[in-house]
């Protein structure tokens, strides 16, 4: 069921909805303040007979919270909320639905709290938070959940984990503009994420980082990685070869906007690499020039190499069926 552009809608009386309703999408209801009508007995919404599994709410600028009770539906598995400028809290009791598997939040600038903890949400597999700059602390219990995917992108500079640590079952991790999370993760150890396949990190606020992974820590990346993307480390100078040891499954390496980066890991650490993408890294670009660049011997075997100066000035797109790499050329 979809509700779109209903300016007279302030709240819902879920007793008026079909008990068999499984998916509900609400968008562009400018006066919607909360989902459940707190002045009406909504037993149908909180009982086990409610079959709602998928809930999306978007572009509702007056939304304050979903429910003061937190029992929207016992069977809710997917919850997505986006572009709700007044949303300050999901549930007043700070609990998520127990069967929730996917949580997506984007463009909610005043949202302060997702939940107090995830101890009762043990089926949670994916959390994606984008542009929610008022969230400063992720809930407790992530380390014991079944979480597989975590994305925290352009939230508060101060956002951090609770003391328990990181969810070790992650297969995909993306963090951006979160220096405290990055520092904690480095200290705790990337290598402890033994199931991690995809790692994407943007280094805004990490001006002290000169190597990746940080050589001073001496920790290695997990061998399970198949994809690594590194963005916007303003003072990153080199890639620590020791950290790339045992990455025999690594297929894709993306490096973007690292203006001081001069070197890649040693060739022996990149033997499995199938795709190398470099953009806006002028010193590294120079080192990767065919035949004469100091980094050439490390990348000559890679089947697909793409090097770009910026989005509008393409320096080269190279595809080699042998160990040769075409000359880097200017497309202007």
pLDDT over 90 percentage in the chain: 47
Residue with the larger pLDDT of the pair 321 and 238: 238
> Is 48 in contact with 76 (CB distance < 8 Å)?
no
Residue with the larger pLDDT of the pair 239 and 137: 239
d(CA 189, CA 195): 13
Mean pLDDT across the chain, nearest whole number? 82
Is residue 318 predicted with pLDDT exceeding 50? no
Q: Give 7's Cβ-side CA count (13 Å radius).
A: 0
* Predicted local distance difference test score (pLDDT) of residue 330: 30
DSSP string computed for 63-92: --BSBSSS-S-TT--EEEEES-TT--BSBT
Weakest-pLDDT range from 38-47, 93-102, 133-142, 219-228: 38-47
* Predicted local distance difference test score (pLDDT) of residue 305: 92
Contact partners, residue 39, CB within 8 Å, separation at least 6: none
Mean predicted confidence (pLDDT) in 129-158: 84
- Over residues 62-113, the pLDDT tens digits come to 999 887 665 567 788 999 999 999 998 887 776 788 889 999 999 999 998 8
Contact partners, residue 172, CB within 8 Å, separation at least 6: 148, 149, 150, 151, 196, 197, 198
What count of other Cβ atoms lies within 10 Å of the Cβ of residue 26?
22
- Is 220 buried (19+), middle (13-18) or exposed (0-12) by CB count in 10 A? middle
pLDDT over 70 percentage in the chain: 83
Residue with the larger pLDDT of the pair 137 and 5: 5
Both tokens assigned to 126: 């994916």
Going by pLDDT thresholds of 50, 70 and 90, the confidence category of residue 168 is confident
- Over residues 6-32, the pLDDT tens digits come to 888 888 766 666 778 899 999 999 999
Residue with the larger pLDDT of the pair 175 and 11: 175
């Amino acid at each position: 069921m979809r509700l779109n552009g209903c300016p007279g809608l302030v709240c819902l009386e879920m007793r008026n909805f079909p008990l068999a309703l499984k998916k509900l999408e609400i968008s562009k209801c400018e006066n919607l303040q909360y989902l459940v009508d707190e002045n009406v007995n909504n037993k149908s919404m909180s009982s086990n007979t409610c079959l709602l599994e998928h809930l999306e709410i978007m572009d509702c600028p007056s939304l304050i919270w979903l429910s003061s009770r937190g029992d929207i539906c016992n069977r809710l598995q997917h919850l997505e909320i986006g572009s709700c400028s007044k949303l300050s809290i999901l549930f007043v009791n700070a609990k998520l639905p127990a069967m929730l598997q996917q949580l997506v939040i984007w463009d909610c600038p005043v949202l302060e709290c997702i939940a107090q903890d995830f101890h009762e949400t043990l089926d949670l597999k994916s959390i994606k938070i984008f542009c929610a700059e008022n969230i400063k602390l992720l809930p407790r219990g992530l380390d014991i959940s079944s979480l597989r995917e975590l994305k925290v992108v352009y939230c508060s500079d101060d956002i951090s984990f609770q003391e328990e640590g990181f969810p070790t079952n992650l297969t995909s991790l993306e963090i951006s503009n979160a220096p405290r999370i990055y520092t904690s993760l480095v200290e705790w150890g990337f290598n402890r994420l033994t199931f991690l396949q995809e790692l994407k990190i943007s280094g805004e606020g990490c001006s002290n980082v000169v190597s990746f992974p940080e050589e001073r820590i001496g920790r290695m990346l997990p061998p399970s990685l198949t994809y690594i993307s590194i963005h916007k480390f303003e003072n990153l100078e080199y890639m620590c070869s020791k950290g790339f040891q045992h990455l025999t499954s690594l297929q894709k390496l993306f490096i973007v906007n690292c203006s001081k980066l001069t070197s890649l890991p040693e060739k022996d650490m990149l033997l499995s690499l199938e795709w190398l993408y470099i953009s806006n890294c002028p010193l590294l670009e120079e080192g990767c020039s065919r035949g004469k660049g100091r980094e050439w011997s490390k990348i000559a075997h890679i089947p697909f190499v793409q090097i770009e100066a910026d989005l509008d000035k393409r320096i080269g797109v190279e595809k080699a069926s042998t160990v040769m790499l075409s000359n880097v050329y200017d497309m202007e």
